[in-house]
Structure 1
Amino acid sequence: MMRRRCLLLRLFLAALLAPLAAQAGDVTDDRGRTVHFAQPPVRIVSLLPSLTETVCALGQCQRLVGVDRYSNWPDAVRKLPQVGGGLDPSIESIVALKPDAVLLSVSSRASERLEALGIPVVALEPKTHADVRRVLGAVGQLLDVPPAEGAERVWRVIDAGVQAAAQSLPAHARGVRVYFEVSRGPYAAGSTSFIGETLSRLGVRNVVPPELGPFPRLNPEFVVRAQPDVLMVGNRSMQPLVMYPGWDGMAAVRTGRICVFDPDDADVVVRPGPRMAEAARTMARCLADKAP
């Protein structure tokens, strides 16, 4: 009798917990779609460098079987097969890798074609500090990494690192006005971008107001009128730094208050992901050196 009751109790608990187990593999992405995984994926293709870095920061680099051509950190991912650009990758190359899941940006044109082939797609695109924290949690859930060991731990390191960088800034650099160019155009990092949020936490002012959006294309004359104290250039396209018309008259240009980040540093400062603390330290060093 007692055995039968124990058996019934176990069956009851199993039935009660089954829906929870089924939901454990559900991830809602930035398209608002809920993607179900019966088991955590073990073969992952990542088509966005910040997502590649997030997987590795969570200690799961070994699950990556392919990446986009721009994913280059940590060093281990450089040895993986590259499947083209993140926006328009080679579908054939991805299929050949037999992934359980593909991580990509919302703007990628590959989503529908991959889903039509039966390959689960999770679209995540961090744009702010809060997004980075949320995406860490979503990827950690997808990979079945306990939050305390994964997403929460990584975020604490990021947050503490940004705060430490802010505290390291010398008094003469606080409150200076900064212009940050992310690519030729000029395309700038606005106040509402993750770069703008980092600058704000460092205690400096962004000359690009929030109403222009996170990454607006500006008229070069706008920057001339703004007269920033320091210019930062994180242009990963490797295009040479060429002054726009009128820029040679700016005090920051005449006095050399410009930081042009090399390709490795540019990768760090323009990616919203686990290396944001390093990005904050890089920007803090620039400010300490170039602020008037």
Structure 2
Amino acid sequence: MDDLSIMMKPQTVLIGVILLILGLIAGYFIAITTVKPEVIVTGQPVVVFDMLGRQITFKEAPQRIVSLGPAITETLFALGLGEKVVGVDEYSNYPPELLEMKEKGDVLIVGGYWTPDPEKILACEPDLVIAEIKAHAKIREKLEELGLRVVFIKGGGASNVEEIYEDIGLISRIFALENKARSLIDDIKSKIQEKTSLLAERNASRVRVFALLSPPAWGLWTAGGDTYINDLIELSGGENIMSRYSGYGQASYEEVIEKDPEVIILTIMGEPEEARKIIHEIINSPLNATTAVKNMRIYVLIGEADDIFCRPGPRVTKAIEILSKIIHPEIFGAIQRPDVISAIEISG
């Protein structure tokens, strides 16, 4: 390291000896603090601060992990920690090897995303539980009463892509996998940059987008400007028509019509037939006054596409790939996925 290099002319033998000794001592401490991040030095505890600001010390890397959210689970596997996962929430379904682990009984289901069961978590005998601030802070005390070590991250509650990077970094530090995390983050940034650079190169105009998070019959639930979905829309060359609002909430038909979206994107946990029914519902609703409906630019994300879109995690680049094709097909090509149902498809 340049800032620690000793480049001095010795004035006396005594000073030279002293400097040599100091150099050896410094070299010793540098050696034990600049080991490869993937290696945990014996006797050197790892200290992290989770997203609740709590200081947590690990004397050794955890070997049995319970994940309480799909975004957490996907991050663990992306960092190469899948073999340490022993419990997950019922919605964790990616990557494919996780499904195999669940079928074999190597990974247990510990409850719903919003309703994890502390006793089932305890039965997994984990030495680390990774939870989300927004979804699981309410059960923190119960988990700690059971003697469970819990680290909170943003996970599914992340507000933007940067917070995905923070989650990846936090988990990696626990396991001394900083190099792996850096490589993963760099890969995500590079792929996002490819999309945004092409949009800039083509001087693409922002397309007005309305994101619906449930069937219209449930109300026009949508995402505001400080949300992960808003970040996805903007990175994909769109403009969230509800960006002036904060968080998630209901919009009125009057305001949506006034904002006149050019594209409507809806995400549901359903089958293709249900998606088609919802498209017909939108076409026959007051939203038929919008440019999006007039041009049949309505898209319903189901199955894997729905998961990718709604989970702030390592698959964020796939979410942007899907959205960029929906929003700017003239640049990225038309979206062609069986889990993305379009109004044009069913009208043709």
- Using the size of structure 2 for normalisation, the TM-score is 0.72
Deviation at 1:252, TM superposition (A): 1.2
Identity %: 28
Of 176-185 and 70-79, deviating more is: 176-185
Are the equivalent residues in 2 in contact too, given 1:53–1:273 (CA < 8 A)? yes
Q: Give the stretch that moved more between structures: 247-256 or 60-69.
A: 247-256
Higher relative contact order (Cα pairs below 8 Å, separated by 6+ residues): 1
Residues 105/52 of structure 1: CA separation in 2 closer, same or farther (3 Å cut): same
How far is 1:237 from its partner?
6.2
Aligned residue in 1 for 2:318? 278
Structure 1 residues 216, 133: closer, same or farther in 2, change over 3 A?
Answer: same
| 2:132 paired residue number | 105
Q: CA deviation at 1:23?
A: 7.4
Report which stretch shifted further, 88-97 or 219-228.
219-228
Aligned-residue offset at 1:236: 3.2
Q: For residue 151 of structure 1, report the CA deviation from its aligned partner.
A: 1.4
Match of 1:122 in 2: 151
* Separation in 1, partners of 2:259, 2:43: 54
Partner of 2:234: 200
Q: C-alpha distance in 2, partners of 1:35/1:200?
A: 36
- Deviation at residue 51 of structure 1 after TM alignment: 0.8
Shift of 1:166: 3.4
Partner of 2:205: 174
Instruction: Return closer, same or farther for 1:87/1:22 CA change in 2, 3 Å cut-off.
Output: farther
* Aligned amino acid, residue 182 of structure 1: L
Select 1:49's aligned residue among 21, 45, 70: 70
- 1:123 is paired with a residue whose SS is strand
Q: CA RMSD in A?
A: 2.9
Q: Secondary structure at the match of 1:228?
A: coil
Separation in structure 1 between the aligned mates of residue 74 and residue 235 of structure 2, nearest angstrom = 23
C-alpha distance after superposition, 1:15-39 (max 9, x if no partner): x98xx98774222112121222221
Q: Is residue 141 from structure 1 mapped to residue 184 from structure 2 by the alignment?
A: no
Is residue 2:301 matched to residue 1:261? yes
Unaligned runs of 5+ in 1: none
Letter in 1 for 2:213: V
8 Å contact from structure 1 (residues 183, 237) kept in 2: no
User: SS at 1:158's partner residue?
Assistant: helix
**Residue 72 of structure 1: aligned partner:** 93
Q: Is residue 54 of structure 2 the alignment partner of residue 33 of structure 1?
A: yes
Return the alpha-carbon distance in structure 1 between the equivalents of residues 144 and 205 of structure 2. 49
Task: Report whether the alignment pairs 1:92 with 2:119.
Answer: yes
Gap change, CA 1:237 and 1:45, over 3 Å in 2: farther
Q: Which amino acid aligns with 2:124?
A: L
Q: 2:222 aligns with which of 188, 194, 198?
A: 188
Name the larger-Rg structure.
2
Rounded to whole Å, the distance in 2 between the matches of 1:159 and 1:234 is 25
Unaligned runs of 5+ in 2: 1-20, 34-40, 336-348
Q: Equivalent residue for 1:232?
A: 265
The structural deviation recorded for 1:221 is 2.7
> Aligned to 1:122, what secondary structure does the other structure show?
strand
Partner SS, residue 226 of structure 2: coil
Whether the 8 Å CA contact 2:237–2:324 is kept in 1: the answer is no
Deviation at 1:171, TM superposition (A): 5.1
TM-score for both structures, normalised by structure 1: 0.85
Q: How many residues align?
A: 276
Could you say which residue in structure 2 is the equivalent of 1:60? 81
